[in-house]
Structure 1
Amino acid sequence: METWVIFEEVDKNSKRTQSHSLFSPFAQNKPYFPPKTISELSGKMVVASYNGWLMIADSNDPGSVLLFNPFSQTTINLPHLDLLSEEVVCNQNSVNYVMTCVPDDDKDERCVVMVSWKSLILFCRPGYDDSWGIHHASVNSDVRSHTLGICNGIIYKLVFLANQYALLYRVTISERDDSNLVVTLKSVGQLRWTDLGRRYQSVYSAPYLVESCGELYCLNLFYGHGTYCNDIQDVRIFKFVEKDNTETLDVVQVESLENQALFIQVSNSPSFGCYVPPPTTSGLLQGNCVYILASFDEAVIFKYHLEDRSLTPFPLFPNQKLLWRRPFWLTSAGNKRNLDESEEKEMDTVLSEEDVSKKRHETEFGDLPSDLICRIARRLLLTDYSRFRATCKKYGDLTLPLQCWSSQSSKIEYLETTKSELILPWLISIRGDPKICNVIDPMHTDQIYLITIPWDDQSYAATMEVVYSKNGWLLMNGFAGNLFFYNPFTKVINGAVLPANNNFGHLRCMGSSATPISENGIIVGLQRSMGQLLVHSYIYGDPEWLVTLGCVKGSFIPASNSPVYYKNKNAFYFLDITGRLGRYKITPERRYKWKTFSKPSTPIVCNPLGGMTTYLVECDGEILSVFVSLAGSWVKVFRLNFMKKRWARVDNVKNHMIFLSPQSSFAEVAPDNRPELGNKLYFSRLHQKEGLVCYDLASHRYCSPNNDSMSRENLFQTRELLGCTWIQPTWS
């Protein structure tokens, strides 16, 4: 199956549609050939796409709709949509379109076009019916959102209600005696929103029904604010399966798509998937990935890889800054997976891991000479060294404890070599198994280490995630309102001091003034509820959380970042999506007060919903704000001047390294033996070949501590590790 993108090319100055273009981003051997202009779409709007066909509307009369196949140049007229206005027809969030099958000609009774809007379902047979049939769905009136999907010719409708439940309907189309169609809905499943996951820092989720290889999936995108791809916090995929041999369907989470790829329409068209034969011949198209069309101006495809939970932006036209609007996926073939004989033969010859392990020769590593064991140990990276000591008692007796190994003292035998390992902050996240932390050493990004969380409570382990880090400790969430601190280096869990918070699923921007080993620590988090800003705070040792009213009327909109606890002011400082500053102050008498500052005003004049990311960090006793544009085309840093109440531009942070991630940001001083690591911003992003991505404030270019030759002007084709945060290794 070949997959294309059709979009409106926009004039850079007037922002008006110039033309409609067709482009193949996965074309072999010619990935960047110019897009083809579709002159037949002049004066038209594309409102939906399905399996090679477009549903288009007249720009002057949106109710005048028809089907168009850009490959065969075939046009099929549809009845006039009298009930829908231009705003409704073109609204990509409230209206859904689907077709039961591909029409064979301009009059095909088997093909039914369906439009779903609120409680209405409109339907017709292209070239056969003179008017749209109308069905008033008798579903709960308190509907928050809905989506249509089709699998094996059967239409499904997923309806999300305000009571935290979702209903799945099977839509049946039948013909009456008078040859007219009738639509009926039958409930085939009920699930809670929480069954589809909930992620920290996300306030909005968008579900999509997807058919791939004859199976029905539900993919849920979690956004920080609005449906903008650069602010995706997580992606969850579920598959619908029959329950106990009945017509009822249940959902199970999918950890891997294997050789399938999903193509998500951030619009009102059905999303779809396909089989990708291994090995892939294109660097962009791969199995076990999700491809999302960006809905903002720049022509960008976002690729989400399930294996490492990374999100990578790819420019469609890297040599020209083409602006687009309303992009749609378009396919030129079906999506069924058909294995040929060679593939089946290849699959039959694959040995299971158990078979391979039985054939592998087992070596008794404990029989190695002691001096050889010591020579091996002194050349290992930190996490490898930790595992090496735990292999057997002999290895543990012959090697030094981790606290001694990590010391920079030249008296220690294992660090006498000139290639002694730097102890820098690491990237840590939870992926797949919720009881295993994935750790990446920034100096060796080609290796991922695993650290087990020794927690037996299943209510914690079911949906674990990292929400904040401070001085080597992680603040963890178990999604049952349960919060606890965990040190992945000492494997110490401190969960008794934190009472449950039932509103935790709605909190953002969490921070802490101290680690759990301190006596007077404070934990805070923000929640937006009914237009109000609520501040949740907890003082170590108190029986419960305190909720304080921050502000109303949306004057402060929390971003996907962490606050700064400024000890000199005994207050937490927050930065919202526009760059506005907020403060939560706690007096010695335990009086709590929130303030949204009018001064300093935001230092950036930019549409916050256009892809800007904000961070707040303390560096050398000062508060810095960092602003990064979509795909990093520009980066700006400012210092807060408390006396003058304004932000001052910063182009040099001297020997400091600024580590930035949505969950936690902080500053460190560069090691004396690596001064070139200073004056840089370090992101939770990796480049496939060049390692960790950082921004050099001196050259205003992206570079890498792993590759001196790397020099980039943006973050395209770099992988953002979702749910990942920086942590300082500590054993205390």
Structure 2
Amino acid sequence: MGGGLCSSAYDCILWNPLTLERISLPQVNAEISFSILTCHPSEPDCKVLLFASGIPSILYCELGNKEWITLNYHDELRRSLQEEEIVEDNLILYNPVCCNGNLYAVLVPSRWDSKLHIVKIHDIQPDSLKIESLNVFLPVVPPLGATKRIYLMESCGDLFTVEIQYKDQILTGVLAIEIHRLNFSNKEWLKVDSAKDRAFFLPPGVEQADAAVSSPASNSDIANRVYFTLFDNNNLYSYNIEDGTVSISSIFLNLPRVYEPSSPIWLMPDLRFTNTLKEAKDKSNTEQEGGGKVCGKENDIKEDVEDIGDTNELFLSDLPFDMVKVIAERLILVDYLHFRATCKIFHYAAPSIQWRIALQMRVESPSLLSPWLVFFEKQSVCTFIDPKHGEKYHINLPQELKGGCIICGSQDGWLLVAVGEKSTFFFNPFTQVIIPLAELNGHETRSFSCIGFSSSPTSSECVVVEFDKRMCLESGDDKFGVESCRMREDHWNMNFFDDADFSFNDNSAVFYRGAFYCLGKKGNLGLLKLNDEEEDTWEVLTQPKSPCLSGYHKNFLVECDGELLSVFVGCLGKWVQVFKLNESKMTWIRVESLGNYMLYLSCSSSLAVMAKTPGMENKIYFPIFCGESMVFFSLETKKFHSFESKDVAIDFYSSREKLRCGWIEPRWC
């Protein structure tokens, strides 16, 4: 609306910083959590609503009134919940939002594992109000980090939720962002994969849910993004909704820290906007290949020769068919698939690949000799990117995994995938084989900060562990839980261990010499041993000490050639350091070169592989992009590069980081 509510201990005004117009309001003698206007201040029936902090009360007044009217909504809210047979003790409303003339708010349940639901507030009178439970729960996204915030907001007449998951409680990094839109007709939340006509802005303060706003945006450089800040720097970050990457939009040297008493808020000018943008249709070519569908790149050439111009048509008809076959035989796998999709002649010259015997191509297909980046797109497609060539292709997900799943780990060509709140599967995307694990126990919901598995799920010895960051509710002590499940077991085993000054840093656990090792946020090592005959044990090792005392943003643990390596990444990629564990002395030794090995690092999976393709060795690959090329760190130059930029160094201000992804080694058997 172009303005905001400003208040001190007693005085309260509406202020438009663009026109400097002020509207005085009655003094406020209560602590306020949220504030909202029912409509623009120029409207005759505009009301100002203040939601009291910690008590079920709303203060409201119409413009020109001399005092606030206090309405207690406790009994009315309880009545509306009882009609829907909802039992709830905590009767405090949060995050009010106006949408299409209606006022909505969020009821946060008293149980931490219960769902948040939306109520509608209407018929606000001096002595009463009405609350209607919509029986609509906020969408559930399995928690990945230590802290998450969910914002309810209006945008262009629609109701949206934006959920952001942070890697820690002090908001120094982001693991995932998801947006949903409410379909009012069937009360269903729809995941938003693209929002090309609008942008979302999240407040710096964690308690400023009512300060989250959305704005129409026709500029493609601004639209289709979520903007946010982090605790430990002065950068403005943007999340691209369509490609799932985070980049640094701007640097504000005078941006206040989020912990300061008066955090900044977003202020949207009063705009009138008509949505005329239409989302482009996906024109990817699709062909059936064995277990899954493989789709060409977005800009692939159409299949039919008739669709190609006259010049190219003559060239293709002049090219000997045997020569076309020879060309096809020399292509790497991804190029081979795109080659087949180009036209009918190439389609006939390049026979369909039998996925189960594709490993025979490994000698002649360099792209199969290194891991690929893997992530899920639009809830139904598994996407791969070859880090060397930048080629991208897709495989359709089987029905069991459609509807939203998260990559939790990777090993030997298998992905460990979480689906919903309780289901876990092993999935080989190349063979389409799915191996289910037991459902999580009882009412437990997934909330892990570190996960790992010991071996390929085809082995009877395979065991999966999830390190749960939650509090031990029964004792009230700071503890974390470890859930473990072996193949063919029908349940998960739960153990609780003392926190012992160990903070998980959202990286993957490594199974090494019969135990699971975790690298903590402080650079210390935690060791989990699962014992068949005795109780499982957890130990935070006093040695080795962290090789980096401060200044790093991320760290990773990976096994390389039978040894444990730790990798520390400085803030904004200013430096990268690699260390090897000397087990005899229990100290970290600095590694200056990886030799012929290469590392692939991400939050969900980290791999070490010997390079078979010249030019890929002695490098560390990250799920970071500069343009369309993947970024790597060279231990030779001590700088970030990409194959596209060659010798030109890259900084994080010109790159994009992919969230919710992992690395996988292609395996068809």
Letter in 1 for 2:530: I
Report if the CA contact (8 A) 2:107-2:117 is conserved.
yes
Aligned-partner Cα distance in 1 for 2:403–2:426: 17
**SS of corresponding position for 1:595:** strand
Q: Does 1:137 align with 2:73?
A: yes
Q: Does 1:511 align with 2:452?
A: yes
**Other-structure match for 2:387:** 442
Letter in 1 for 2:522: T
The 3 A distance-change label for structure 1 pair 211 and 481 is closer
Alignment of 1:630-669 (within 5 A): 630-669=571-610
Aligned residues: 609
**Deviation for aligned residue 1:427:** 0.5
Q: Does 1:191 align with 2:131?
A: no
Q: Which of residues 410, 419, 431 in structure 2 aligns to 1:469?
A: 410
- Deviations for 1:668-702, whole angstroms, at most 9, x for unmatched residues? 2233622xx3333211111225x112223444432
Equivalent pairs: percent with the same residue? 25
**Deviation for aligned residue 1:429:** 1.0
Q: Please, which runs of 5 or more residues in structure 1 have no aligned partner?
A: 1-50, 90-94, 176-180, 244-248, 355-359, 409-414
**Deviation for aligned residue 1:137:** 2.7
**Deviation for aligned residue 1:468:** 0.7
Report if the CA contact (8 A) 2:510-2:559 is conserved.
yes
**Deviation for aligned residue 1:328:** 1.8
Q: Which of residues 496, 500, 516 in structure 2 aligns to 1:572?
A: 516
**Other-structure match for 1:172:** 122
Aligned-partner Cα distance in 2 for 1:351–1:117: 46
**Other-structure match for 2:83:** none
Aligned-partner Cα distance in 1 for 2:6–2:350: 70
**Deviation for aligned residue 1:634:** 4.2
**Other-structure match for 2:97:** 149
Aligned-partner Cα distance in 2 for 1:144–1:112: 19
**SS of corresponding position for 1:327:** coil
- Deviations for 1:309-340, whole angstroms, at most 9, x for unmatched residues? 222222335xx68665523211122354265x
Q: Does 1:303 align with 2:238?
A: yes
- Deviations for 1:628-663, whole angstroms, at most 9, x for unmatched residues? 344334444333333333444444434432211111
**Other-structure match for 1:407:** 363
Aligned-partner Cα distance in 1 for 2:69–2:155: 29
The 3 A distance-change label for structure 1 pair 126 and 604 is farther
Aligned-partner Cα distance in 2 for 1:304–1:709: 28
- Deviations for 1:694-722, whole angstroms, at most 9, x for unmatched residues? 22344443211332143134x23422212
The 3 A distance-change label for structure 1 pair 202 and 324 is closer
Q: Does 1:56 align with 2:18?
A: no
**SS of corresponding position for 1:189:** strand
**SS of corresponding position for 1:577:** coil
TM score, norm. by length of structure 1? 0.74
The 3 A distance-change label for structure 1 pair 399 and 586 is closer
Q: Which of residues 663, 682, 695 in structure 1 aligns to 2:633?
A: 695
Q: Does 1:226 align with 2:169?
A: yes
**SS of corresponding position for 1:371:** helix
**Other-structure match for 2:505:** 559
Report if the CA contact (8 A) 1:428-1:725 is conserved.
yes
**Other-structure match for 2:371:** 425
**Other-structure match for 1:680:** 619
Report if the CA contact (8 A) 1:151-1:211 is conserved.
yes
Aligned-partner Cα distance in 2 for 1:310–1:477: 21
Aligned alpha-carbon RMSD (Å): 3.6
Letter in 1 for 2:119: Y
**Other-structure match for 1:549:** 496
**SS of corresponding position for 2:648:** strand
Q: Please, which runs of 5 or more residues in structure 2 have no aligned partner?
A: 78-87, 285-301, 308-315, 473-477
Aligned-partner Cα distance in 1 for 2:170–2:162: 14
Letter in 2 for 1:133: I
Report if the CA contact (8 A) 2:60-2:70 is conserved.
no
Q: Does 1:100 align with 2:56?
A: no
**Deviation for aligned residue 1:562:** 0.4
Report if the CA contact (8 A) 1:212-1:335 is conserved.
no
Report if the CA contact (8 A) 2:164-2:177 is conserved.
yes
- Deviations for 1:363-398, whole angstroms, at most 9, x for unmatched residues? 489999642441342354423435767997874379
The 3 A distance-change label for structure 1 pair 402 and 549 is same
- Deviations for 1:169-223, whole angstroms, at most 9, x for unmatched residues? 2223645xxxxx4562422422345xx1323523543221221112221222233
Aligned-partner Cα distance in 2 for 1:56–1:155: 21
Alignment of 1:291-440 (within 5 A): 291-292=227-228, 294-317=229-252, 324-325=257-258, 326-334=263-271, 336-337=273-274, 339=276, 362-363=304-305, 370-385=321-336, 395-396=350-351, 402-408=358-364, 423-434=369-380, 436-440=381-385
Aligned-partner Cα distance in 2 for 1:398–1:600: 49
Letter in 2 for 1:549: F
Aligned-partner Cα distance in 2 for 1:660–1:573: 16
**Other-structure match for 2:299:** none
Q: Does 1:527 align with 2:474?
A: no
**Other-structure match for 1:264:** 202
